[in-house]
Amino acid sequence: MAKTSKANNTDQPENFEAASSELEKIVAAMETGQMSLEASLEAYKRGVELLRYCQNQLQDAQQQVRILDGDLLKDYTVPETHDR
């Protein structure tokens, strides 16, 4: 059983947006119900890889926001002005 380069597509996406776009295309293709069993399994595997990539990117972004925010936003209230 020969594997094609498309079936063994484990390339890392260029970025979050590219991964999300590819994942949407996979979902749309699978929803048509026109894929063979083998193609569906390969698409599913690639979808899992892309989903994990996206989840990791989101977690990294959330961690960066937490670091940048620190405690700055926790107790911040807008000071009231009584100028009339």
Listed in sequence order, the DSSP H helices in 1-84 are 16-31, 37-69
From 77, 75, 13, select the one nearest 50 (Cα to Cα): 13
How distant is the alpha carbon of residue 39 from its chain centre? 22
pLDDT: is 73 or 45 the higher one?
A: 45
Answer yes or no: is pLDDT of 60 > 70. yes
In this prediction, residue 1 carries a pLDDT of 37
Model confidence pLDDT, tens digit, residues 23-45: 999 999 999 999 999 999 999 99
Answer yes or no: is pLDDT of 6 > 50. no
In this prediction, residue 11 carries a pLDDT of 87
Domains of the chain from N-terminus onward? 16-69 (1.10.287.1040)
Mean pLDDT, the chain, as a whole number? 83
